[in-house]
Amino acid sequence: MKTRKFIFTHAVVFAAGAVLASMAYRPAAKQREEEAAAAGRHSLNGAGEMTGADDRATARDRRASQNPKSRTNGAPAQRMADIVRLGDPLERQSALMDLLGRLGPGEFAAVADQYRSMDHFGGSQGEYDLILRSWAKADPLGALAYAGQQPDNWRDTSLILASWAGNDTAAAERWALDHHQGEGANPYLAAVIRGVAAYDIAHASQLAQTMPSSHERGDAVDAITRALFMKGVDAAMDFPNSIQDPKLRAGFVEAIANRLAGKDPDQAATWLAASGDAEGQARAARGVAQALAKTDTASAAQWLRKLQPEAQAEAARGIIPIMSSTDIAGTASWASSLAGIPNYDQVVEEFVWSCDYRAPEQSAAWIQGVADPEQRRHLYYSMLGEWAKRDAGAVKTWVSNNAVPPDVLRRFTR
């Protein structure tokens, strides 16, 4: 028994020693393989960010090798083609700006042609605008000649003129005056004003005063107003006092009040009410009233009374749709209290359209409150016509039971 036990014990020790020996004498290649595997596991478990950094570095290297900004060879048109194919918008714009900064005046046309001929990932108008703006600084006459040869060229021409005016106002102004034909407002001059306003508000406003009342002058007023707000709200609010032309001054009051209302409705309302410009108030009242009513319709309704009588109807038009969205009866009562103000027919029409879907019977009944016969007739036809599309039977019943003009009765009961 003792002998067998002794032999067993030594056998166990021998086996253990063999295992240790095998571990100690593993082939070096196998050991290196396992160490490499262990290192890989360590990098995944404890330092995976290093692998991610390597991947990002590889991606950057790949993009850099594809980036036309790093290339010095090739014609500008070919470089433009390479730039358009870049998928990253930031890299594409950076490469485009680099290319544009290197072009000579005679090279822009080929670059523009190449850009226009290719498909784009998106946002292509802004990139094309950069080409035209850069061209306008290097060779404005060449850029204008190119734009004039393209279909729907007015937008491009306007952009080039504005960019040119920022560099050489006198030259751009002369071109605008020399190339305008006809008796209407000069659209080229409006483009010049957009370019000048950022640098010289006084001269931009002088040019605007030479233009007749028109959509083009409205564009000029908008550009000057944007430049004024870049100088600060106080500068914008003080500016209309410097304008002698009543209509132009009213245009500035409207543009400034509407822009201010988007930032601070209360400040816009206080400023507009304090303005002594009746026409300016009338043009701006609706937008400011709407901005106020979105916060508090009761306050907006009280503010309306601070305006010149000529502006109150327009203010009411801004308030009524918001007020009636929650209280039709209350809105009807408030609108009735405004009877007698100038242009009250506009208030009535606003109320009619504000509830024509939710309370068509009440809406139709209000039409008789329109004083102008032609406006009243038109409103009957348009409002009842829309209602009839939804429920012709209800309209027939309503006109049969209410006092309406004979032609309206015939139209909706036949």
- pLDDT attached to residue 169: 95
Mean pLDDT of 1-7: 36
Closest alpha carbon to 351 in 337, 341, 366: 366
What pLDDT is recorded for position 38?
47
Q: How confident is the model at residue 41 (pLDDT cuts 50, 70, 90)?
A: very low
- Dihedral angle sign, alpha carbons of residues 310, 312, 314, 317: negative
Rounded to whole angstroms, the Cα distance separating 111 from 94 reads 16
Tell me which of 72-76, 247-251, 287-291 is least confident. 72-76
- For residue 144, the model assigns a pLDDT of 96
Domain boundaries along the sequence of the chain = 367-414
Residue 26: its pLDDT value, please?
Answer: 42
Higher pLDDT, 3 or 374: 374
pLDDT over 60 (residue 262): yes
pLDDT of residue 18: 35
DSSP assignment, residue 86? -
- Asked if the model's pLDDT at residue 318 lies above 70, the reply is yes
- Mean pLDDT, the chain, integer: 85
Q: Who wins on pLDDT, 51 or 160?
A: 160
Share of the chain above pLDDT 70, in %: 82
Q: What per-residue confidence (pLDDT) applies to 241?
A: 93
Residue type, 214: S
Please compute the mean of the pLDDT values over residues 340-357 and round it to a whole number. Answer: 97
Q: What is the pLDDT of residue 55?
A: 52
d(CA 218, CA 213): 8
* Residue 302 burial by Cβ neighbours in a 10 Å radius (0-12, 13-18, 19+): exposed
Q: How many CB atoms lie within 10 A of CB 411?
A: 17
pLDDT of residue 34: 52
Q: How far apart are CA 167 and CA 126, in angstroms?
A: 20
- pLDDT, tens digit, 9 for 90 and up, residues 320-334: 999 999 999 999 999
Give residue 19's pLDDT. 33
Give the model's pLDDT for residue 274: 95
Q: Is 167 exposed, middle or buried (0-12, 13-18, 19+ CB in 10 A)?
A: middle
pLDDT at 152: 75
> Which residue from 336, 347, 277 is spatially nearest to 312, judged by alpha carbons?
347
- pLDDT value for 5: 37
Total-model pTM: 0.75
Q: What is the per-residue pLDDT for 49?
A: 45
Inform me whether the pLDDT recorded for 121 exceeds 90.
no
pLDDT single digits (tens) 207-223: 999 999 999 999 999 99
Phi, psi dihedrals of residue 91, rounded to the nearest 5°: -65, -40
pLDDT band at 183 (very low <50, low <70, confident <90, very high): confident
Condensed to tens digits (0 to 9), the pLDDT of residues 297-314 reads: 999 999 999 999 999 999
Of 326, 329, 323, 375, the residue nearest 349 (C-alpha): 375
Coil, helix or strand at residue 386: helix
pLDDT of 57: 46
pLDDT above 50 for 61: no
| Rounded Cα distance, 371 and 352, in Å | 14
Please state the rounded mean pLDDT for residues 62-72: 48
pLDDT at 9: 35
What's the pLDDT at 125? 85
Confidence check: pLDDT of 151 > 90: no
Per-residue tokens: 368: 């008789």
Over range 88-101, report the average pLDDT: 93
Instruction: Tell me what pLDDT residue 153 has.
Output: 86
